[in-house]
Amino acid sequence: MKGTYLGEFEEVVLLAVAIQSGEAYGAAVVSEIEQQMNRPVNLGAVHAVLCRLQEKGLVSSHLGGATPERGGRRKRLYAMTGAGRRALEEIRQLRNQMWAAIPNPALS
């Protein structure tokens, strides 16, 4: 794959951000991953990956409005960028290409 390398967890976090379509924040990303993958996820690890993805230009962020549920604090909301979308498409294409290259024993 050309461009920015993504580790497995970075890919999963980026996919969760894409699913949340512009309304992703740390806890929502954790919830999405836990629901989709049926495995526990650490919020601190997700925050670290979101920062890395932003540094790589694959997500952007902005502060949302303050909410009473958060004691008046604002959420940092993340959205996938065009570069993030292209990175996911390249990963999917590479994975599909490699899956297609696996010999089918039933046809041999």
For 21-55, the pLDDT digits (tens) are 888 999 999 999 999 999 999 999 999 999 999 99
Which neighbouring-strand residues pair with 47? none
Reported pTM: 0.86
CATH number at residue 96: 1.10.10.10
Range of the domain at 95: 8-100
* 108 lies in some domain: no
Q: Please name which of 21, 22, 20, 40 lies closest in space to residue 30, comparing C-alpha atoms.
A: 40
| Contact assessment for residue 66 and residue 73, using Cβ atoms and an 8 Å cutoff | yes
Task: Name the token pair of 87.
Answer: 């990175």
* 73 lies in some domain: yes
* 54 lies in some domain: yes
Q: Any residues with CB less than 8 A from the CB of 87 and at least 6 apart, and which?
A: 3, 4, 6, 14, 58
* 21 lies in some domain: yes
* 47 lies in some domain: yes
* 107 lies in some domain: no
* 106 lies in some domain: no
Provide the domain count of the chain.
Answer: 1
* 34 lies in some domain: yes
Tell me: pLDDT of 5 over 90.
no
Which neighbouring-strand residues pair with 76? 63
